[in-house]
Every structure is written in structure tokens, then in C-alpha cells.
Amino acid sequence: MTISAIGITKRFGEFVALDDVTLEVAGGELTALLGPSGSGKSTLLRVIAGLEHADAGEVIISGEDATGRPARDRGVGFVFQHYAAFKHLTVRDNVAFGLSIRHRPKAEIARRVDELLHLVQLGGLAERYPSQLSGGQRQRMALARALAVEPKVLLLDEPFGALDARVRKELRGWLRRLHEEMHVTTVFVTHDQEEAMEVADRIVIMNEGRIEQIGPPRELYETPGNEFVMSFLGPVNKLGDVLVRPHDVELLLEPNGVSTEALIDRITYLGFEVRVELELPNGRKLWAQTTRESAAPLEPGRTVHVRPRATRTFDGDGAETRPAGDSPWWDRRVTMEVHHS
Amino acid sequence: MARPAPSQVLRRRKVRRSTWLGVGLVTLYLSVIVLIPLAAVAWHAAELGPAAIWRVVSSPDTRAALQLSLFSSLAVAAINAVVGTIIAWVLVRDTFPGKTIVNALIDLPFALPTIVAGLTLLALYGPKGALGVNLAYTRAAVMLALLFVTLPFVVRSVQPVLMELEKDVEEAASSLGAHGPTVFRRVVLPSLLPAIVSGAGLSFARAIGEFGSVVLISGNIPFKTQIAPVRIFALIESGDSAGAAALAVVLLLISFSVLLLLAFVQRWGRKGDE
């Protein structure tokens, strides 16, 4: 059950939400559309679902052209950020909705609904109303409702966006396991990079109506194609045109020939992780992510020696470039105060 | 469980005191404005005794007036339920030039003195009517006047509910395979129903007590176009104030039972809400 969205363009008045976007999703895959708000990720999902009609481009769902079809005929299960529960129906009737409008036999509906409620662990709450459920339970109900009609593809629009952090974490793992059991082709939208990396097989990074890069989480993190991807997938220090991940900033107590001096401004303890904010001799600031053990001898006001384990540089077009020239990593393209130990 | 902190206890007591103050004020206000006048009407009628009340109510012309009022009010409530919902729908969901003005127009029947409304309707739909349709002194005219004065109720009760109805609920239904009419019937209508019912209930109550707009255009022909409030007026004019009170009490009882019934329907319909 594949999805192809080819050359999709969508404008809302003057605003171009999607600019000639092409995306292929393989059958059985769990894909995340990741991007900041306004990047077009939700619009792309809604175009695939038929809830929004593209100005240009076509949508093909498991080999069939769905471009002109209304949402009801696309065989798509859709889960909304704010649950979109039918408030006047019980949990059971919510889940049964798609089957009951298809006039399936009552016994079959009852069996299928029981099965799904069991799957989403709401077996005991079938006779409740949505208002009597927690947010996490409502979203699981919405998921069961979408799965009831055996959709060819499952689309989730910021499914955990309205939930608190703890429930969100719990549901992520649960969605992952559910996907492994069901193997429905799934696309979900999120603006949370951690969520995308934790749940998805493949991440599509979007920005300003375009796709920036597509790949498995690890590949995207380790070989980002441009500066946007690198900074969206995790924290970065930007020093001139050089990008360094905070966990790649090594802190040494003694100089080792390639390191440079830095003054510790501030240390923040976050449990296992410790953030060390530093100031370089040229006045630039950066921070290093380290562990509790490594940070033990450090204190604000002390001078340490800093060395990056890995840096990246992208040119104006976003392509990666190799560092050149003699100036040190932290001071490239900066002519004043070249200071090297 | 830990004992509540002293400040919490204090706050709770405070809340309770202010609650009682609120209830007291509301009771006092309702008594002066509503309960005492209604009780006076009931008292006046009760002086006659049940037998006398029955005699007044069951006299043929009063009974005809009561029947006309009851059925025309029910019909008005039903028509408002449908048309009012459609008007609210168009005002919320559609965009068209002059929408703001149309929206403001809805409340005008409330502002217009009902006797003026009656005069206007008579001028337009009467014997020398500008529109060439003569409805004067017919039951249709009674309905027309009642529909005019009750127009805002359903529109104004459905409109805010429709505005707050989340679009994604309808989208969810269509992604599950529902056609437009199915989405409306199975998802939208159930959400609007409490508002429609309450608006229709208010229409009914208003229609059954309406006097001013009907009195001119209906012609007050006994057994044909005389409605109960006009009948009351006739009783008062003929000096039978106790009979008038008796009929008024019957009207009040009908309205009260309808409103009470609707309150129960509402409560039952609200089971799925927060």
C-alpha cells in the first residue's frame, strides 16, 4: 500500500504552503513528516487524505489515482491532533462509526470493535463517552476508529501534539509497537524531532513548503544535507559558517596542541546531561553537552581547552564543504583576534 | 490524605458563603420579577375553584382558542426548528455580501413593538396588501405573525454552537467514508440538537403567549382565528377577570410543562458533553 504525491503545489491566497513537492512512501513503512510550523507538513498530509485539494499535482494511493476523489473514497484513516471525537457517541459507537455507515452486519461490527478496543487497550471503557476519557485515551479511541475501516494508509496529524509530555512519550512507543503488529503504511506529522527519530523508519524534513531531505533518522542526523536539516534535528553551535553539535565539543583540562582556550560561563545540570556554556577568546559563545562525570571538575569562571570532534560547513546552497585555510575551526572567516595556543 | 491547610479551609468556607449570597440574590430577584406575579395570577384563578376553571376552559369558544394557540405554537416551533437551523447554517458557514447586515436583521423582530409588527403584516399581507396576497383574518395570518416574532430564537441558539463545532469532527466522519448528508445527520445534527430544541422551546413559549402581532391581522374571529391570549383579552373586556386568570393559568401550565420537558430532553441529550 504505497503513497505517491507527485508535484504537489498548494496555495492559500498569497501563501505557498506546498511548492512542487514530490514524496514516495513505500508500503508498510512508518514515515514522519518533520518540520517547523508553516513548513507545509500538515497540508501535505491533508492533501494525501483528500481533506485539502492541491492546486497542482497528483496523489496515487496503492497504485490508484486518488487526485480527484473525495476523502471518503480514498481508503485513508486519519487521526487529528485534537482527537475529533464524536462527543455524542460512546467509545464503542465512535469506533463503529465507519462500519455502521457501511451497514455492516451488527454482529460483525461488534466483533471488530471489540477487537480494536482490545488492541488500543480501551476494552473496559467501551460504554463511556469521550468526555469521560483522558487525552491519551481519546487519541487511542480515534486511532481505533480510523483503523476500523481497514484503511490502506494511516495518516496522523500531530497525533500527540495535544498531550502532556509523559503521555506523549508513552504513546510514541505504543504507536511504534502497533505499527509493528499491523504493518499499515503510516505517515505522521510532527514538529518534534525527538518524536520523529524515535518512532519513524524514515523522516521527511520539510521547510517553507519544500522537502529538505529524506532518510532514516540516523542517516539524517549523521549526514545532514544542509544547515537547516542539521539544526532542525538537534542543537548546534554556529561559529561563523562552522556548525558543531554540542556533544561534539570536547572539553579538556590541559591544552593538547589543537585545542583552544575557553572560559566557562555557566553550568546547567539536567541529571545525566550537563550543559556547559563557554566563551571563546574572540568573544563568541558556544555550549558543550557533556556528562555528569566529565563535568565534575568544571566550574564557572574556570578556563578549559576546547576541541571539536566533528564539524560541518555548508555553502550558500546548503551543500557541505570541507574546511579550508589555516585559520582555526572556531575562527574561520573571522579576521580579528586570531588566537591559537 | 493530608489535612487541608488552614488557608484552604478558609477559602472553601468563603466560597460557600458567597454561593449562598448568590442563591439568595437570585431567588429574591426571581421572586420580585417572576414568581410573585405568576403566583398572583394563579391565586386569582384558584379563587374560582377547579370546577369554575374547568367551566371557563371547556367553554366551546375558549377551548377553540386554546386549541388554535396550542397547535399553531407547536407548528411555529417545528418550522423554526428547521428554518432557524438553516438560517443559522447559512450565516455561519457561507460567505456572501451583506452577511453582517442580514445577521443584524435577525434580532429586529425582538426590537419592533409587536403591535407595529401586526400593523406592518396587515399592510403587506392584508386586504389592500402591497404583495397582492390577502391573508388577513385567516389562520395562515396567525402563523405568519407568530413566525415573525419568534424568528430569532432558534437562529440565535444554534449559531454559537455551529460556530464552535470543530471542523475536524466533520472531516473525521468523511474520512471514515461518510457522504455530506450522512455527516450532517450523524455528526452535525446531534451536536446541534440541544440548541435546536431549546430554541424551538422558547419559540413555542413565546408563540403561545403572543398577543400584539396577532391581534390586528387575525381578526379575532371566534372558532376560527381567535388565539388564547386574545381570548383572555376578550374575557377581561367583558368583565370576567377570574375567567381570564383561569385561562392564563392554563397557558402558563402548558408553557411550563413544555419547557420542563425540554429541560429533561436537554439533560438527556447532554450526556456526552463535558
pLDDT in tens, B49-62: 888 888 888 899 89
Sequence length of chain B is: 274
Q: What percent of chain B has pLDDT over 70?
A: 92
| Chain A, chain B: beta-carbon pairs less than 8 Å apart | 75
pLDDT at residue A8 is higher than 90 = yes
- The whole-angstrom distance between A173's CA and the closest CA on chain B is 24
Say if residue B63 is in the same domain as residue B190: yes
User: Which chain A residue has its CA at the smallest distance from B178's CA?
Assistant: A72
Q: In which band, very low, low, confident or very high, does the pLDDT at A78 lie, cut at 50, 70 and 90?
A: very high
Q: What percent of chain A has pLDDT over 70?
A: 92
Amino acid, single-letter form, for residue B195:
A
Q: What is the residue-averaged pLDDT of chain A? A: 89
What are A210's three cell numbers? 519544500
- Quote the pLDDT of residue B6: 47
**Partner residue opposite B176 with nearest CB, options A87, A90, A97:** A97
Q: In which band, very low, low, confident or very high, does the pLDDT at A182 lie, cut at 50, 70 and 90?
A: confident
Residues 6+ apart with CB under 8 A from B149: B109, B114, B117, B206, B207, B210, B213
Residues 6+ apart with CB under 8 A from A128: A90, A91
- Quote the pLDDT of residue B15: 58
Average pLDDT for B137-161: 94
DSSP class per residue in B125-175: HSTT-TTS---TTSHHHHHHHHHHHHHHHHHHHHHHHHHHS-HHHHHHHHH
Which of B46, B63, B79 corresponds to the end of one domain?
B46
- Quote the pLDDT of residue B13: 53
Average pLDDT for B29-41: 90
User: pLDDT for B251-261, tens place per residue?
Assistant: 988 988 988 88
User: pLDDT for A313-331, tens place per residue?
Assistant: 887 655 666 554 455 666 5
Say if residue B79 is in the same domain as residue B147: yes
Residues B176, A85: C-beta atoms closer than 8 Å: no
Chain A residues with CB-CB distance to B190 below 8 A: 86, 88-89
- Quote the pLDDT of residue A152: 92
Nearest-angstrom CA–CA distance, A174 and A121: 11
- Quote the pLDDT of residue A332: 52
User: Which chain B residue has its CA at the smallest distance from A128's CA?
Assistant: B272
Which of the two residues, A314 and A185, has the higher pLDDT score? A185
Residues A87, B272: C-beta atoms closer than 8 Å: yes
Which of B170, B171, B176 to substitute to test the interface with A, most A CBs within 10 Å?
B176
Asked if B169 and B156 count as a contact pair (C-beta separation under 8 A), the reply is no
Asked if B156 and B237 count as a contact pair (C-beta separation under 8 A), the reply is no
DSSP class per residue in A246-265: GGGEEEESS--SS-EEEEEE
Chain A residues with CB-CB distance to B161 below 8 A: none
Say if residue B142 is in the same domain as residue B252: yes
Please tell me whether residue A155 adopts helix, strand or coil conformation. Answer: strand
Say if residue B24 is in the same domain as residue B121: no
**Partner residue opposite B273 with nearest CB, options A74, A84, A131:** A131
pLDDT at residue A312 is higher than 80 = yes
- Quote the pLDDT of residue B5: 46
- Quote the pLDDT of residue A148: 94
- Quote the pLDDT of residue A339: 35
- Quote the pLDDT of residue A242: 87
Asked if A242 and A327 count as a contact pair (C-beta separation under 8 A), the reply is no
Q: Euclidean distance between the first and final Cα of chain B, in Å?
A: 28
pLDDT at residue A338 is higher than 60 = no
Of A6-15, A138-147, A208-217, B45-54, the range with the lowest mean pLDDT is B45-54
- The whole-angstrom distance between A103's CA and the closest CA on chain B is 12
Say if residue B146 is in the same domain as residue B222: yes
- Quote the pLDDT of residue A272: 87
User: Which chain B residue has its CA at the smallest distance from A87's CA?
Assistant: B272
pLDDT at residue A15 is higher than 80 = yes
pTM for the whole structure: 0.81
- Quote the pLDDT of residue B130: 78
- The whole-angstrom distance between B186's CA and the closest CA on chain A is 9
User: pLDDT for B194-228, tens place per residue?
Assistant: 899 999 999 999 999 999 999 988 888 889 999 99
Residues A82, B168: C-beta atoms closer than 8 Å: yes
Which of A42, A87, A92, A149 to substitute to test the interface with B, most B CBs within 10 Å?
A87
Of A59-68, B51-60, B152-161, the range with the lowest mean pLDDT is B51-60
**Partner residue opposite A71 with nearest CB, options B169, B174, B187:** B174
Say if residue B67 is in the same domain as residue B170: yes
Nearest-angstrom CA–CA distance, A287 and A281: 14
Cβ-based interface (< 8 Å): residues of A facing B? 49-51, 70-74, 76-78, 80, 82, 84-90, 97-98, 101-102, 129-131, 142, 145-146, 148-149
- Quote the pLDDT of residue B12: 52
Total domains in the fold of chain B: 2
Nearest-angstrom CA–CA distance, A193 and A35: 8
Residues B272, A129: C-beta atoms closer than 8 Å: yes
Q: Nearest Cα to A288, choosing from A303, A277, A299? A: A277
pLDDT at residue A337 is higher than 60 = no
Average pLDDT for B72-83: 96
SS3 content of chain B, % helix, strand, coil (to 5): 80, 0, 20
Say if residue B193 is in the same domain as residue B65: yes
**Partner residue opposite B272 with nearest CB, options A84, A131, A145:** A131
Q: In which band, very low, low, confident or very high, does the pLDDT at A154 lie, cut at 50, 70 and 90?
A: very high
- Quote the pLDDT of residue A321: 61
Say if residue B157 is in the same domain as residue B268: yes
Q: Quickly list H helices, chain A.
A: 41-49, 91-100, 106-119, 135-148, 165-182, 193-199, 217-222, 227-233, 292-295
Of A94-108, A269-283, B3-17, B42-56, the range with the lowest mean pLDDT is B3-17
- Quote the pLDDT of residue A211: 96
**Partner residue opposite B191 with nearest CB, options A82, A87, A97:** A87
Domain assignment of residue B39, given as a range: 1-46
User: Which chain B residue has its CA at the smallest distance from A148's CA?
Assistant: B176
pLDDT at residue A205 is higher than 90 = yes
Nearest-angstrom CA–CA distance, B248 and B42: 8
Chain B residues with CB-CB distance to A72 below 8 A: 174-179
- Quote the pLDDT of residue A282: 85
Say if residue B205 is in the same domain as residue B241: yes
Q: In which band, very low, low, confident or very high, does the pLDDT at B177 lie, cut at 50, 70 and 90?
A: very high
Which of B14, B29, B46 corresponds to the end of one domain?
B46
Residues B175, A145: C-beta atoms closer than 8 Å: no
Residues A72, B179: C-beta atoms closer than 8 Å: yes
Please tell me whether residue A234 adopts helix, strand or coil conformation. Answer: coil
- The whole-angstrom distance between B272's CA and the closest CA on chain A is 5
How big is the CA angle at B75 (ends B74 and B80), to the nearest 5 degrees?
100
Q: In which band, very low, low, confident or very high, does the pLDDT at B74 lie, cut at 50, 70 and 90?
A: very high
Q: In which band, very low, low, confident or very high, does the pLDDT at A194 lie, cut at 50, 70 and 90?
A: very high
Say if residue B39 is in the same domain as residue B161: no
Residues B175, A129: C-beta atoms closer than 8 Å: no
- Quote the pLDDT of residue B58: 87
- Quote the pLDDT of residue A259: 85
- The whole-angstrom distance between A282's CA and the closest CA on chain B is 53
Q: Are strands A273-279 and A260-270 parallel, antiparallel or unpaired?
A: antiparallel
Say if residue B184 is in the same domain as residue B223: yes
Predicted ipTM?
0.84
**Partner residue opposite A98 with nearest CB, options B176, B190, B274:** B176
Asked if A118 and B203 count as a contact pair (C-beta separation under 8 A), the reply is no
Say if residue B134 is in the same domain as residue B219: yes
Chain B residues with CB-CB distance to A50 below 8 A: 175
- Quote the pLDDT of residue A336: 32
Average pLDDT for B155-168: 93
- Quote the pLDDT of residue A256: 83
DSSP class per residue in A287-315: EEEEEHHHHTT--TT-EEEEEES--EEE-
Chain A residues with CB-CB distance to B181 below 8 A: none
Average pLDDT for A199-218: 96
Cβ-based interface (< 8 Å): residues of B facing A? 166, 168-169, 171-179, 182, 186-187, 190-191, 269, 271-274
User: Which chain B residue has its CA at the smallest distance from A89's CA?
Assistant: B272
- Residue A254 CB neighbours (<10 A): 7
CATH code, domain with B141: 1.10.3720.10
